[in-house]
Chain A
C-alpha cells in the first residue's frame, strides 16, 4: 500500500466485511471471535494495517494513522454495540430458560418436634422459674415412706385406695405422685422453698382415659404466712399464662392427705368462655388440678416448724393440660410415638 487512496478503498472494504459479518453473528461469543479477525493486534486485519505505516510517505503518515485509528474506533463502537445487544438478549434467554412452576411442592426443611408433654412442661417451667421456682426431678422409684407415710398417708389410710400403686418390693414402689420428691427437698432445705417437681408417675389404671404412666408437675412453696389467697393468686396467674388472659379459676373443697384444706381447681372454659360447651360438658368449668395448704404433719415430718412456716402445694396432670390445650382426645396417643401425632404440635 502506497497511498491514501488505496487506504480508503481498504477501509471501505473492511467496513463492508464487518457490516456483512454482523448479520451472521448470533452470540456474544461469536462476536468475540469475529472481532479478533479484525482487531487482534498481530493477526487482525485492522492491526495489520498499522504495519503498512512504514511504507507510507512521511507527509502522509499522519493522515494514514488518523484513517486507521478512525476505522479502529468505528469498529470498536460497532462491535461493542452488537456485543451489548446480544449479551442483553442472552441474559434474558437465561432467565427464560430457568422458568419454573412455582406451584410445585416446597423442599421441606425437616425439623422434629418436642413431645407435647415436654412442650407444656417447658411452658410451666418458664412461668414458675420466673416466679423463683427451682426445678427438682425426683426418682421414679420411691420408697413407701416418701410416697405415702411422709405425706401423711399411713398404712391404714383410706387414701391409699384412691390410687392403686405398683409395688416393686414391700418397701419400694413406683411413685404415684411427684409430691414424693418434695419431701427429699424439704428434708435438706429450710424455707423459703419454692420448687417445681415435674416427672413421670404411675398408677394401676389402664383404660380409655387413664394411662398407667403419666406426667405430673407438683409445685410447693413453704415460707412464712402462706395462705389460701396466695394459692388462688398463683393459680390465677398460671391459668392466664397457659390458657390466655381472662381465664379464671374456681376452688372447691376436696381431699388430699398431704394438704389441709385441699381444693380441686377448675378453670373457666377457654373454649366457650364459660357459657358451656362440649369441652366443659356444659358447665363452663374444666377440672385441671388439685391443690391445698400443706398439711402441718407433712412439714413436721420434714423438720420444718409448722408453727413458724406454712406452705401451699399444687399438682397438675401435664397430659391433661396438653390434651386440653391442643385438643388431643386420647391420652394413649401420647405414648405411641406415632409421628403423625408427634409432628403436629409445635407450640
Chain B
C-alpha cells in the first residue's frame, strides 16, 4: 500500500526522518517494501526569475538573463513559447539532473545532466524547465501539464530549492500490510499505528457537515442479503456541480497512483485511500423507484459496469438495485446506467460493508476487479463505513460541489461500532511472552493503541475499537505488547519447562535414508521432480487408453496443462531428466528419485488417495546396459534384505526384449528395462537410457529386518567351473534353477562367460558357470563333488538338453 508521508502528517505529527520511520514501522510489523522520495531523480533545480529576454534572430529561441539567486545573472537560452520577463520558472543549474524528453517535450526518455553550453553561438548556463522535465504532472501541481515552462508563483524567493515547492521532497512508503490488519489498509489506519509507535496523539479527519434540510421523500433502503451486507449507508447530495477537484486533492490522488476524474468521483477514491472504505456515487436522477435494494442477483440477470463490460450474473453475486434494476455490482463496480456524468445534479453516496469472501469470489468468478473489490476482499470494518460517509459529506461541503441533504438511510444487521470490552490476566499475557513486561509499560502501549486499558491487580480490562477485528484473546494482547515493547527483549531459553521426549526417525524413514545412501554408492545422484506432470507424459509412454496410469488425479486450477495431473508413475520425468542431461552435454549418468505417486480410489476424489512411496532409477550412457541397471536393483534388494527375481515383461515404453518385472516373495513390485528407441528419438536422446521403478510402499513390510549371522563352516568351499553348450533359447535363469535344484550343497551359481559363434554351432551358445559347493557338517571330498557335478550335468541334459562343452 502506497502511503505518502505528507498525507500521513495530516493525522500525526512525525518528527523523525523517513529512514527512522521505516525502521520503526519494520520492527512493529509493517515491512516497508519500498521507500522513495517523489523527486528522487531530480537535483540542482531552483526558483529563477527572468530579468531580461531577447529573441535570437531567425530562431524560436530567446536568450534570457535569469536571477537564480546565484549572485550574478545567468545567461540561459530557452525555446519555450511562454518565456517572458518578470515571471518565475524552475531553473536547472549546471550539474542539475532532470528528465530528458523526446521532441514532443512530453515523453520522458531517461535522465539528463545539465551542462554549460552554446546554443546558436550564445552561451547557455542552465535550463528553464517544464513540469514534465521535473516529473511533475498537472495533477501534482497546477500548470505543470503545460507544454512549455512551468510558471511558479511570484512570491517564491529566487534561488530557493524547487523540491519543497513542487512537493518533490515528499516520501512515498510502500508498506506491506499483513492479512490480520485490514484496518491498516489506509492512510488514516497507518496514522493510528504511527501515532502509537511515535507516542503521539492521532488527529481525527474532519467529519463535520451541515444538512440542508432538503429531503428525498419516500426513499427506502432494504437489504435482502444481510449475511453479505451487514451495513449499508445511503445519503443523498443535491445541487451537485460536477467540476474538477482542487489541486491538493488531485495531487494526493496522483501520489497514490489514481487519476483525477471529477470532484464527486475523486471524493470516493480519496476516501478509499484515506480511510480504507470503498464508496460509490450513483447519479440520483438515474435511480428509479426511489428505493435501493441489496440482494443476490437472479440467475441470468445482466449488468453493464462502468467500463462498459456486460456480465451475466447468478445468485452468488451481490447486486445493488434501484426500484427496478441492478445499478451496481456490489463492492466491485458501479453500473453504467447510473454513472456520474458532467450533467449529474444529484448524487446518492453509498458506504457499505460487504462480506469479503463474497466479493473475492464474485470478483474472481466474473474476472472483474477494481480498487474497491481488492479492498473489500481484505475486509472492511463497519467503524470505517460509518466514518467514511461523514467524511464524504464533509468533503462535498469543503469542495463546494453540492448540498448535503437530510436523507440519510442506514441499514445494519446490528453490529456495534462501539469498542468492545475484553478482560485478560496480565500473568497470562506475560506467560505467552516468557518475560515480565512491566505493567506500566503494558498500560502505556495499550493506551497508545486506543485500547483504554484499566488494570486491577492481575486483571487487565481493555476496550477493543471496532476496527480491531483481529483481537480475540490474550495472545493477541501479548502480540500488541511485544511488538511495541520490542522483540529484542525476548530472552532465549531452551524449553526449560518442557518434558524430555524421545525423538528420531522411525523404521520407514531410517530405511529410506539407508536406501538412498546405498543408491549413492552405485554412482547415482538423487533428483527431485514435481509431484505433478503432463497428460502428454502419459502419451509419451504410449500407455493404452485404459491403462491404470491414466487414471490420474486432475488439478482443478493448474498453472498450465503440463503441470495438471498428479503423477501415477515417476518414469516420464526420469526420462525427461536423462534427456535434459544429454542436451547439456552429459552423455552418461545415473539418477534416482524417491517420491510419491498418487493412485486415486475414485475420481474425482472423495477420500484420501493412495500416496505410494516409489523409487525410480534412470541410467544412461555408453557403459550402461540392462544389466548395470539390474545391478542397481540387486543393490536395492541387498539393502532392504530381500530377494528379487525377474521375469520378462512387455511394457509400451520399454524395449520388447530388454524389460523385466521385479518380483519379491511372489509379488510384483516393479519393473526395469531399456527405454524404447521411439521415446529416445522423441526426447532427442543420443545415448540409450534405462529406467526402473520399484514400489517401495509394497516393500515396507520388510523394513527393519535385522540381518542374521550365518556361522562360517570350518571346511573350505569347493569350486567347479562348468562350460555348457545350449540352445540359444535357454535362459541363464533356467540353467541356474536346474543347478540349484540338483544339489543341496550348491551355494552359488555365477555365469562368467558366454560365447556364440561357429565353434558352438548354429542356434547354440556356450555358457560357463562357476558353481560353489558349501560343505555342511563334514568336509566335501573330491569324489563327492564329482558326484554332484555328474548329477547336475545329468539333470541339465535331461531337463534342458544341455551338454558339457567338449
Taking a contact as CB atoms closer than 8 A, the residue among A141, A167, A261 that contacts B478 in the complex is A261
A260 to B360, CA, bound (A): 25
A295 to B474, CA, bound (A): 11
Are A251 and B608 in touch, CB under 8 angstroms? no
Say how far A157's CB is from chain B's closest CB, in angstroms. 8
Segment at the A interface, from B25-33, B272-280, B643-651: B25-33
Are A337 and B580 in touch, CB under 8 angstroms? yes
Taking a contact as CB atoms closer than 8 A, the residue among A112, A252, A257 that contacts B524 in the complex is A112
Q: Does A334 contact B (CB under 8 A)?
A: yes
A188 to B591, CA, bound (A): 38
| Chain B positions within 8 Å of A336 at CB level | 577, 580
Chain B residue at minimal CB-CB distance from A166? B555
A154 to B586, CA, bound (A): 49
Say how far B408's CB is from chain A's closest CB, in angstroms. 29
Are A253 and B523 in touch, CB under 8 angstroms? no
Chain A residue at minimal CB-CB distance from B177? A255
Are A236 and B492 in touch, CB under 8 angstroms? yes
Are A337 and B527 in touch, CB under 8 angstroms? yes
Segment at the A interface, from B97-105, B106-114, B432-440: B432-440
Q: Does B581 contact A (CB under 8 A)?
A: yes
Q: Does A137 contact B (CB under 8 A)?
A: yes
Chain B proximity mask over A191-225: 1 for CB below 8 Å, otherwise 0: 01110000010101010000011000000010111
Are A252 and B26 in touch, CB under 8 angstroms? yes
Chain A proximity mask over B351-372: 1 for CB below 8 Å, otherwise 0: 0000111001000000000000
Chain A proximity mask over B464-493: 1 for CB below 8 Å, otherwise 0: 000000001101101100110001001111
Total A-B residue pairs with C-beta atoms closer than 8 Å?
Answer: 256
A94 to B29, CA, bound (A): 78
A131 to B498, CA, bound (A): 11
A194 to B499, CA, bound (A): 10
Chain A residue at minimal CB-CB distance from B607? A172
Taking a contact as CB atoms closer than 8 A, the residue among B475, B527, B530, B606 that contacts A213 in the complex is B530
Segment at the B interface, from A4-12, A14-22, A114-122: A114-122
**Also in contact, A339 and B555, with CB within 8 A (given A230-B434, A234-B494, A252-B27):** no
Are B501 and A192 in touch, CB under 8 angstroms? yes
Q: Does A123 contact B (CB under 8 A)?
A: no
Q: Does B705 contact A (CB under 8 A)?
A: no
A135 to B604, CA, bound (A): 31
| Chain A positions within 8 Å of B517 at CB level | 114
Say how far A190's CB is from chain B's closest CB, in angstroms. 12
A233 to B494, CA, bound (A): 5
Q: Does B503 contact A (CB under 8 A)?
A: yes
Say how far A136's CB is from chain B's closest CB, in angstroms. 9
Chain A: interface secondary structure? mixed
Chain B residue at minimal CB-CB distance from A153? B179
Q: Does B522 contact A (CB under 8 A)?
A: yes
A174 to B522, CA, bound (A): 34
Chain B residue at minimal CB-CB distance from A211? B530
Q: Does B526 contact A (CB under 8 A)?
A: yes
Q: Does A329 contact B (CB under 8 A)?
A: no
**Also in contact, A131 and B566, with CB within 8 A (given A112-B523, A122-B513, A229-B434):** no
Are A141 and B609 in touch, CB under 8 angstroms? yes
Are B483 and A253 in touch, CB under 8 angstroms? yes
Are A310 and B531 in touch, CB under 8 angstroms? no
Are A158 and B492 in touch, CB under 8 angstroms? no
Q: Does B589 contact A (CB under 8 A)?
A: yes
A254 to B433, CA, bound (A): 15
Q: Does A281 contact B (CB under 8 A)?
A: no
Which A residues, 116 to 166, have Cβ-Cβ distances below 8 Å to chain B? 117-118, 122, 125, 128-135, 137, 139-141, 143, 155-159, 161-162, 166
**Also in contact, A342 and B527, with CB within 8 A (given A158-B356, A158-B379):** yes
Segment at the A interface, from B311-319, B327-335, B451-459, B556-564: B556-564
Are B608 and A158 in touch, CB under 8 angstroms? no
| Chain A positions within 8 Å of B491 at CB level | 229, 232
| Chain B positions within 8 Å of A334 at CB level | 528
Q: Does A293 contact B (CB under 8 A)?
A: yes
| Chain B positions within 8 Å of A114 at CB level | 516-517, 520, 525-526
Are B504 and A212 in touch, CB under 8 angstroms? no
Taking a contact as CB atoms closer than 8 A, the residue among A169, A213, A342 that contacts B556 in the complex is A169
Are B503 and A129 in touch, CB under 8 angstroms? yes
Q: Does B497 contact A (CB under 8 A)?
A: yes
Which B residues, 368 to 398, have Cβ-Cβ distances below 8 Å to chain A? 377-379
Are B581 and A337 in touch, CB under 8 angstroms? yes
Say how far A151's CB is from chain B's closest CB, in angstroms. 13
Taking a contact as CB atoms closer than 8 A, the residue among A171, A257, A293 that contacts B475 in the complex is A293
Are B557 and A254 in touch, CB under 8 angstroms? no
Are B475 and A261 in touch, CB under 8 angstroms? yes
A194 to B718, CA, bound (A): 57
| Chain B positions within 8 Å of A125 at CB level | 505
A157 to B360, CA, bound (A): 11
Q: Does B764 contact A (CB under 8 A)?
A: no
Q: Does A343 contact B (CB under 8 A)?
A: yes
A110 to B506, CA, bound (A): 30
Chain B residue at minimal CB-CB distance from A297? B472
Q: Does A36 contact B (CB under 8 A)?
A: no
Are B581 and A295 in touch, CB under 8 angstroms? no
The tally of residues in A whose CB lies under 8 Å from a CB in B reads: 84
Q: Does A228 contact B (CB under 8 A)?
A: yes
Are B497 and A224 in touch, CB under 8 angstroms? yes
| Chain B positions within 8 Å of A308 at CB level | none
A255 to B483, CA, bound (A): 12
Chain A proximity mask over B1-45: 1 for CB below 8 Å, otherwise 0: 000000000000000000000000011110000000000000000
Say how far B669's CB is from chain A's closest CB, in angstroms. 21
Are A172 and B487 in touch, CB under 8 angstroms? no
Q: Does B496 contact A (CB under 8 A)?
A: yes
Q: Does B611 contact A (CB under 8 A)?
A: yes
| Chain B positions within 8 Å of A157 at CB level | 179
Chain A proximity mask over B196-238: 1 for CB below 8 Å, otherwise 0: 0000000000000000000000000000000000000000000
**Also in contact, A251 and B487, with CB within 8 A (given A132-B503, A168-B553, A169-B604):** yes
**Also in contact, A169 and B524, with CB within 8 A (given A192-B501, A337-B529):** no
Taking a contact as CB atoms closer than 8 A, the residue among B495, B526, B559 that contacts A206 in the complex is B559
| Chain B positions within 8 Å of A224 at CB level | 497-498
Say how far A146's CB is from chain B's closest CB, in angstroms. 10
**Also in contact, A230 and B530, with CB within 8 A (given A155-B357, A293-B432):** no
Are A112 and B526 in touch, CB under 8 angstroms? yes
Q: Does A250 contact B (CB under 8 A)?
A: yes
A22 to B608, CA, bound (A): 93
Which A residues, 62 to 96, have Cβ-Cβ distances below 8 Å to chain B? none
Chain B proximity mask over A227-261: 1 for CB below 8 Å, otherwise 0: 11110111011000000000000111111010011
Are B526 and A118 in touch, CB under 8 angstroms? yes
A125 to B505, CA, bound (A): 8
Chain A proximity mask over B570-601: 1 for CB below 8 Å, otherwise 0: 00001001001100101001111100101000
Q: Which of A128, A135, A161, A261 has the most CB of B within 10 A?
A: A261
| Chain A positions within 8 Å of B28 at CB level | 253
Chain A residue at minimal CB-CB distance from B487? A251
Say how far B435's CB is from chain A's closest CB, in angstroms. 6
A260 to B505, CA, bound (A): 29
Taking a contact as CB atoms closer than 8 A, the residue among A111, A174, A192, A230 that contacts B523 in the complex is A111
| Chain B positions within 8 Å of A335 at CB level | 528-530
A-B contact pairs, 28 of them (CB 8 A): A111-B521, A112-B520, A112-B525, A113-B525, A130-B503, A141-B605, A157-B179, A169-B606, A194-B503, A200-B531, A213-B532, A221-B495, A225-B497, A227-B434, A227-B435, A230-B434, A252-B27, A253-B479, A255-B29, A257-B179, A260-B475, A261-B479, A293-B478, A336-B577, A337-B527, A338-B581, A339-B586, A343-B525
Q: A155-B357, A230-B493 are in contact. List 12 more A-B contacts (CB 8 A).
A: A111-B523, A112-B590, A115-B526, A115-B527, A129-B503, A168-B604, A172-B608, A194-B498, A229-B491, A232-B492, A257-B179, A335-B530
Among all A-B residue pairs, the 8 with the closest Cβ atoms: A227-B434, A253-B29, A229-B434, A156-B357, A337-B527, A261-B479, A255-B178, A233-B492
